[in-house]
Amino acid sequence: MLWNWQRPDWPNFSYDKEILAPLEARFLLQSGEFTGAFRHVDQNDRDLLKIELIGDEALKTSEIEGEILDRDSVQSSLRQQFGLASDRRRVRPAERGIAAMMVALYESFADRLTHETMFTWHDMIVGGYRGTRSVAGYRTHTDPMQVISGSVDHPRVHFEAPPSDRVRAEMELFVGWFNETAPDGKRALPALERAGIAHLYFVCIHPLEDGNGRVGRALAEKSLAQNFGQPSLIALAYTIERERNTYYGMVESNNKDTEITEWLAYFAETVLEAQRNTLARVDFHVAKARLYDGLRGRMNPRQDKVIARMFREGTDGFRGGLSAENYISITNTSRATATRDLQDLVAKGALIKTGELRYTRYHLNLAAQRQ
């Protein structure tokens, strides 16, 4: 079996531009919709929304790789690094590192890509881990760099990357390609085309000892931000993580050839879905702010705690709706008090009641805030 980097036309990828053209048009349209929606968010709420969106990207890009981080710690670290008010909690290296990478990506999206850019990101996300042989540099070990699953006795090789002695030369070509295909480069490419190639191209070189997926997704977001002309708040990792197995399957099915139409169509649709997710979350945040404005000073501490808990579930909502039992569990109160509190929240327009008796459920009344 030949891998794509072993083929004579590597790294000259081929694909059907006509398939991508309507997707590129939708990307531009949705980018304008996001810009318009974001303008309706006031400055204080923009900071909160920025922390939420970037924080979720940090969490999800790590979760794709099987690393579960603490949301509050990531958000606290982001606030500190953006110079916003924070609780100054102690943050573990893992949360601090991924937050630092996301801030660097946000603040320097327009800068040309350099090897040092990627080395800095790499140091941020793996520098605190013992056992990584090459930190803030490309891999140098002589062992084959393979992506493997299965048992030791019966391993399945999903991919084998170029040997380490080829990595520096491969990355010289990659950095040159990335900068030349930027909007101001001599070989400028459309947004989705460029971001999709950048991600696959990078992960197929697999130049780092660890963290290739996270850096590869950061490169895709940097590419999109450069084409968009402003920092990216797109929910790319958030969207990929929802269909993680599909993502891994598409990478694997497109690492053996340089014809990558299938990959680019998949990645473009993923970016478009990420845009829709981001727009939905901006809309959700605006509705959340309006609901809180209407309830300010009108909720008791128990109600405040439950509403905050429901909002933490995000756009997907509280699974199945909030029940009286959920309310009792969250607030540690009696059934009678829970019933009164819930009826009061319905009367105030904060919640919508559905079902009857033991099937009664409560949902945030966000539709009223969008009118």
Q: Is the pLDDT of residue 128 over 70?
A: no
Task: Give residue 252's identity as a one-letter amino acid code.
Answer: E
Give 314's pLDDT tier (boundaries 50, 70, 90): confident
Residue 114 has a pLDDT of 98
* CATH placement of domain 300-370: 1.10.10.10
Say yes or no to pLDDT of 151 above 90. no
Residue 354 near residue 363, CB atoms below 8 Å: yes
How far is the C-alpha of 136 from the C-alpha of 125, rounded, in Å? 10
Whether the predicted pLDDT of 234 surpasses 80: yes
Q: For 59, what's the count of Cα atoms within 13 Å in the CB-facing half-sphere?
A: 21
Helix pair 43-63, 261-295: axis angle to 10 deg: 140
Cis omega (within 30 of 0) for bond into 11: yes
Per-residue pLDDT for 321 more than 70?
A: yes
The rounded distance, in Å, linking the Cα atoms of 119 and 141 is: 17
Residue 371 pLDDT grade (very low, low, confident, very high; cuts 50, 70, 90): low
What is residue 79's predicted lDDT score, i.e. its pLDDT?
94
Higher pLDDT, 70 or 289: 70
**CATH 3.90.110.10 for the 4-283 domain, yes or no:** no
* DSSP per-residue codes, 257-316: -SB-HHHHHHHHHHHHHHHHHHHHHHHHHHHHHHHHHHHTT-S-HHHHHHHHHHHHTGGG
Check whether 129 has a pLDDT greater than 70.
no
Residue boundaries of the structural domains of the chain: 4-283, 300-370
Does residue 8 carry a pLDDT above 80?
Answer: yes
Angle at 180 between CA 237 and CA 225, to 5 degrees: 30
Angle at 362 between CA 356 and CA 366, to 5 degrees: 135
What pLDDT shows up at residue 14?
A: 98
151-168 mean pLDDT: 90
Q: Is the pLDDT of residue 40 over 80?
A: no
Phi, psi of 14 (to 5 degrees): -120, 155
**C-alpha pair distances (Å), 29 with each of 36, 237, 262:** 11, 21, 23
Rg (the chain; Cα; Å):
23
Locate all alpha helices (DSSP H) within the chain, ordered by sequence.
Answer: 17-38, 43-63, 71-81, 93-107, 115-126, 164-180, 191-205, 212-228, 236-242, 244-253, 261-295, 301-312, 324-331, 335-347
Query: What are 9-33's pLDDT values in tens digits?
Result: 999 999 999 999 999 999 999 999 9
Instruction: Please tell me the predicted confidence (pLDDT) of residue 368.
Output: 66
pLDDT at position 88 over 80? no
Alpha-carbon distance of 255 to 64, in angstroms, equals 19
Name the percent of the chain lying above pLDDT 70: 97
Alpha-carbon span 224 to 118, nearest angstrom: 17
Average pLDDT over residues 50-73: 94
Kindly state the average pLDDT of the residues 285-302.
89
pLDDT of residue 132: 58
Q: Is the pLDDT at 315 greater than 80, yes or no?
A: no
Which residues lie across from 159 on neighbouring strands? Answer: 147
Region 72-99: mean pLDDT is: 90
Cα 265 to chain centroid, rounded:
19
The average confidence (pLDDT) of the chain is: 92
Confidence of residue 130 (pLDDT cuts 50, 70, 90): low
Which residue did the predictor score with more confidence, 40 or 199?
199
